[in-house]
Amino acid sequence: MDETTEIRSWLAGRLPQGWFIEAPEVLADRDEILVVGKIEDVAASEGVDVGTARSGRIKKFREDTREERMRIAAEAQRKFGRHASWAVRIGDAGELFTHMAVPVMTRLRIRERSILDRLVQGGVVQNRSQALAWCVRLVAEKESEWLGGPREGSAPELMAAITSPIPSALPDSDPASALLDAYSQAVIRVVERVTPAVAHVRRGPGGGSGLVIAPDGYVLTNAHVVDGATEVEVAFAEGATYRAPVVGTDAATDLALVRVLGPSLPAAELGDSDALRVGQLVIAIGDPLGLQSTVTTGVVSALGRSLRAKDGRIIENVIQTDAALNPGNSGGPLVDTHGKVVGVNTAISAMAQGIAFAIPAATARLVAMALIRDGRVRRAYLGISGAATPIGRQLSYSLGLGAPSGIRVLEVTPNSPARRAGIREGDILVALDGAALATLSDLQRALSAERVGAPTLITAIRRGDRVVLTITPEEAR
């Protein structure tokens, strides 16, 4: 059994009775599954012409089947690794239910995109997506004229051109263009992999973006996006909208978790944010309007930054990037070139252009687990701000330390546990109760609720010497 037949057989057992008046057509390639079904036609009525009546029938079918189509599409994505699209025919009318034009268009090569650009410049259409649709309609209208003849052998050279695969590189592509095209293809692959898990989180007239992190409906977003709400709406680009109670929020990291009350959803994978390096390429994805994702690219500009939240709190260990964002992208994912989520976009600097911030995936993972378990995050508080810094293997070895890096203390808050314990600005923290502190994520993981009120040994380097202090963390407020 070939794969298309397998997909067709699999779908046949899942499509509800009564959707279509005959067996649907199923088309598949390596990226897409397209289900094309025919629905019962309608007649004109008083004051309503046939075209309007058919459009209304299509709209009703789309709304009535939305949740079930979403569930089937999510299952198809997991089973076959393909994006599922839906289309219906009614009489001589038809409609495609997903935005296939965008991913298809972005897979085109430089020469093909230039043809679309010429159609735009010539005023035939307004944008590339419309140009692609115009080309498809033209081929459909000329199908019998262009394809009928070659199938009968009257124009074999045309048939050969139509059926031959597109070359992987154009003969006239210069090295720079080929490199840019390869970069574009890498970004496209990541976007197509992650976008199904990106949603629009709506709270009254405002909102932001969200990221599905578990198939059972857990969606991660920003705390300021759901501020004050007990329930929000979560909308996906395919058109489905679900109620989502707020599981919990954490103002200290500007993260929140909601849970969609609906079918199984495609989820993104949280990656290793501790492995990020300054200069690394990243991709910011958001869904600010609930219609279609926005995508920008950039690099990691800095790591371990501090960010003052809207309520005045300092958010520690933040990723800084130059990937352009807009306010509606808050809560969307920051992704590496392997399609792994390395951060959750959280804010834009109002004081400078080209600066945006994201909460690391390592922090997001800890916060999400705590919110699922307890509905809130309890953490121990030391009262310092700091940044990861190398200390050198030789010094690390001579002092018997477990890692060649630590956390340099940049500021000690007055009347804090750190101040009372004798920690000073310039100290390099290297261990907490014997556990190495090589990164800020290590420190955040170590400051669990169990340490609140418990005397703890903290090891630091001060002017080249090793010192051990006793600190009693408080509960963060």
330 catalytic per annotation = yes
99 catalytic per annotation = no
Closest CA to 407 of 423, 429, 392, 385: 429
| CA distance linking residue 148 with residue 475, whole number of Å | 76
Q: Which of 85, 209, 254, 441 is catalytic?
A: 254
Q: Which of 330, 385, 396, 405 is catalytic?
A: 330
User: Which residues are within 8 A (CB) of 264 and not within 5 positions of it... i.e. 6 or more apart?
Assistant: 71, 74, 75, 215, 216, 217
Q: Which of 85, 200, 209, 224 is catalytic?
A: 224
Which is it for strands 341-348 and 333-335: parallel, antiparallel or unpaired?
Answer: antiparallel
Q: Which long-range contacts (CB under 8 A, 24 or more apart) does 400-405 make?
A: 400/466, 401/430, 401/431, 401/436, 401/459, 401/466, 402/430, 402/431, 402/436, 403/430, 403/436, 403/437, 403/438, 404/438, 405/438, 405/439
224 catalytic per annotation = yes
The first and second tokens of residue 333, run together, are 């994912």
Q: Which residues form the catalytic set?
A: 224, 254, 330
